[in-house]
């Protein structure tokens, strides 16, 4: 009889005790969170050359760092915002509707670092071709990004001036400056060509030279590529881009 009383007491205790809920995370949410965490800690995705993208394989509204985490990262932060590089629909250079990447500046103040990046630390001697349009009179291009952002060439286009910096950490030093015909913020499509070499960089827009700098500094001889606009809500829209090794 005692055994039955004991069993009844145990059953009563179980019925009255606290209910423990076990939450199993959604695998899709886990993958998305991992991609966000990677974008927070890694400046470059470490993808290989050659690389190209016309963004047609993505869905409109997709975040590039989630849709293609092996190809894209975000460099910079704005109160934790990581949703400023996404796929849009636009009228492309051919005059037809197409998909494109929009890199939208997320913060007030302007001029901060909030770039979409691609590439790897070991990219060297490559050519970038970017079909873009921009609604901002200030925008930025980053070349030979390496060391998780420790080193990079930074080209600032602001009005009719193109300024090239060498960046170490958060410190930038002007190494070249030239007058240009304008920032190309006219809503039309333009072509940026950049050569990132082991001995310097050269950037042209629609054939006009914006930077041409020779350098024998090994810390700046290799690395990935990035691009961004510079004022709250303004976008750099990329129809397509490609990165190919330069011939010897």
Model confidence band, residue 37 (pLDDT cutoffs 50, 70, 90)? very low
* Cα angle 63, 125, 102; round to 5: 20
- Give the bridge partners for 213, in sequence order: 201
Per-residue confidence (pLDDT) for residue 83, from 0 to 100 = 80
Alpha carbon separation from 108 to 133, 138, 209, 231 (Å, rounded): 21, 14, 30, 7
pLDDT tens digits along 54-98: 999 999 999 999 999 999 999 986 766 778 899 999 999 999 999
- Of 114, 54, 61, 118, give the one whose Cα is nearest residue 88: 61
| Third-level CATH fold of 25-245 | Jelly Rolls (2.60.120)
pLDDT tens digits along 123-167: 999 999 999 999 989 999 999 999 999 999 999 999 999 999 999
Model confidence band, residue 19 (pLDDT cutoffs 50, 70, 90)? very low
Alpha carbon separation from 174 to 46, 50, 89, 155, 177 (Å, rounded): 28, 30, 37, 10, 8
**CA-atom Rg of the chain in angstroms:** 24
Q: Where are the domains of the chain?
A: 25-245
Q: Are 145 and 154 in contact (CB under 8 A)?
A: no
pLDDT tens digits along 211-223: 999 999 999 999 9
């Amino acid at each position: 009889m005692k055994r039955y009383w004991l069993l009844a007491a145990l059953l009563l205790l179980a019925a009255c005790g606290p209910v423990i809920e076990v939450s199993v995370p959604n695998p899709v949410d886990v993958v998305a969170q991992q991609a966000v965490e990677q974008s927070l800690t890694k400046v470059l995705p470490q993808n290989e050359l050659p690389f190209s993208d016309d963004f047609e394989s993505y869905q409109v509204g997709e975040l590039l760092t989630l849709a293609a985490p092996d190809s894209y990262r975000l460099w910079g932060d704005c109160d934790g915002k990581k949703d400023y590089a996404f796929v849009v629909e636009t009228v492309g250079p051919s005059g037809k509707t197409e998909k494109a990447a929009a890199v939208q500046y997320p913060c007030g103040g302007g001029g901060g670092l909030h770039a979409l990046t691609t590439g790897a630390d070991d990219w060297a001697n490559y050519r970038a071709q970017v079909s873009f349009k921009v609604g901002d009179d200030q925008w930025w291009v980053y070349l030979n990004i390496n060391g998780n952002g420790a080193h990079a060439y930074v080209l600032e286009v602001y009005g009719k001036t193109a300024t090239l910096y060498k960046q170490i950490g958060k410190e930038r030093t002007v190494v070249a400056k030239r007058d240009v015909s304008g920032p190309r913020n006219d809503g039309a499509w333009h072509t940026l060509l950049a050569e990132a070499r082991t001995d310097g960089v050269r950037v042209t827009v629609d054939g006009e030279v914006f930077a041409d700098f020779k350098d024998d500094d090994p810390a700046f001889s290799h690395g990935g590529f990035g691009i961004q606009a510079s004022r709250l809500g303004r976008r750099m829209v990329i129809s397509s881009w490609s990165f190919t090794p330069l011939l010897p």
